[in-house]
Homo-oligomer: A and B are copies of this chain.
Amino acid sequence: MENVKTREPQQKRSIEKKNRIIETGFRLMCENGYQKTTTADIAKAAGVSTGIIYSYFKDKRDIFIYGLEAYAKHMLLPIYDRITPDLDVYSALNAIIDSLIEGHKVFQHAHKEIEALTMTDEVIAGIMFETELQITKQLELLLAQAGFDATDLPEKTHIMYNLVESLCHELTFHQHEGLNDAKMRQIVTDTIIFLLGKPVIS
């Protein structure tokens, strides 16, 4: 039996409204912090009343969860989409980096707030964990298929993922003056290629 209090909007306008609340709410929470964002803030920014929020969402946290899932999808989908069988591993790698950078740009400050909530909220932690797992599994698969040595692949993949994550963060926020974007990206891809070693076959 479904939740009886919140309802799934059927009308087009309602769906748009629900999405507007998710987008606005998640953005505010990520920009200003989960706790500092009040339901009144979200309602005002989304142009709705506070009451309607509780027609679509169980509670404030529910908005964040929905936003987080959209965020995860936004990060994952392009990866699946861009990796086609005819792509060589280097192009695929670049496609993945592009995807993640784009995801960061769209969701701005999301990452830090999510990481913090990960500590105290198991559901949120679970979603993030699963997302990261999907991405790294995808990377491992890609590399294994391309014939790269599978030795220490999980460890290498994890490190590569973190390298790309950090790169995305810097390229998105430019917190450190004097760093050259192109150079950063070049170094990261070089490093990943170094980590990959040479393909075993050929």
A interface with B by C-beta (< 8 Å): 31-33, 35-36, 109, 112-113, 115-120, 129, 132-133, 152, 154-156, 158-159, 162-163, 165-167, 170, 175-176, 178-180, 183-184, 187-188, 191, 194-195
- The CA of A116 and the CA of B195, in the complex, are separated in Å by 31
Interface pairs (30), CB distance under 8 Å: A32-B119, A32-B120, A33-B116, A33-B117, A33-B119, A33-B120, A35-B35, A112-B116, A112-B118, A112-B119, A115-B115, A116-B117, A129-B175, A133-B176, A152-B183, A152-B187, A154-B176, A155-B179, A155-B180, A155-B184, A156-B187, A158-B176, A159-B163, A159-B187, A159-B191, A162-B162, A163-B163, A163-B166, A187-B195, A191-B194
- Residue of B109, B154, B175 near A179 (CB, 8 A) is B154
| Known A32-B120, A152-B187, A191-B194; further 19 A-B contacts with Cβ < 8 A | A32-B119, A33-B116, A33-B119, A109-B119, A112-B115, A113-B119, A115-B115, A154-B176, A154-B179, A155-B179, A155-B183, A155-B187, A156-B187, A158-B170, A158-B184, A159-B184, A159-B191, A162-B162, A191-B191
* Contact across chains for B166 and A162 when beta carbons are under 8 A apart: yes
- The CA of A109 and the CA of B68, in the complex, are separated in Å by 21
Tell me which residues across on chain B come within 8 A of A158, comparing CB atoms.
170, 176, 179, 184
> Who on chain B is nearest to A185 by CB?
B155
Specify how many copies of this chain sit in the oligomer: 4
- Residue of B129, B154, B191 near A195 (CB, 8 A) is B191
Tell me which residues across on chain B come within 8 A of A152, comparing CB atoms.
180, 183, 187
Tell me which residues across on chain B come within 8 A of A188, comparing CB atoms.
159
Shortest distance between the CB of A186 and any CB in chain B (Å)? 8
Tell me which residues across on chain B come within 8 A of A112, comparing CB atoms.
115-116, 118-119
